[in-house]
């Protein structure tokens, strides 16, 4: 689903569609699989429910796993969807997935400066 793109990101294509939740989400089992394959170190017991960090257009998003979302779909709350270049959703869109080190950096930045877009 995702392939090597640069030193900081993987590239993939997901359907982007509106979602009535408060946060970006994707199907829970798919989220855990990606988390395990791309974010886990393979050492000891690791959580697989931490957010994935994806970039859609100019927006970095912390993506959670949720039930009821179709496979291969990134579900965005209406306000986030309005800020992207997605028109007439659901739309197949190229999405960047931050690699583990970059994701950790972006999440730390968001925690230390809440409300600041990354």
pLDDT tens-digit map of 55-106: 998 888 999 999 999 999 999 998 888 888 788 889 999 999 999 888 888 8
Dihedral sign for Cα atoms in the order 22, 28, 30, 36: positive
End-to-end CA separation in angstroms for the chain: 24
Q: Under a CB-based contact definition with an 8 Å cutoff, are residues 38 and 103 in contact? A: no
Q: What are phi and psi of 73, to 5 degrees?
A: -125, 140
Q: Among 9, 15, 12, which residue's Cα sits nearest to residue 1?
A: 12
User: Is the link from the previous residue into 30 a cis peptide, with omega within 30 of 0?
Assistant: no
pLDDT grade for 49, boundaries at 50, 70 and 90: low
């Amino acid at each position: 689903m995702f392939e090597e793109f640069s030193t900081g990101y993987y590239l993939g294509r997901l359907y982007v569609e509106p979602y009535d939740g408060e946060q970006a989400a994707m199907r829970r089992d798919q989220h855990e699989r990606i988390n395990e394959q791309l974010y886990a170190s393979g050492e000891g017991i690791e959580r697989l429910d931490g957010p994935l960090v994806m970039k859609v257009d100019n927006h970095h998003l912390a993506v959670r796993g949720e039930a009821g979302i179709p496979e291969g779909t990134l579900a965005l709350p209406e306000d986030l969807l309005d800020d992207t270049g997605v028109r007439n959703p659901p739309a197949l869109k190229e999405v960047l997935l931050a690699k583990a080190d970059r994701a950790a950096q972006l999440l730390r930045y968001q925690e230390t400066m809440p409300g600041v877009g990354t």
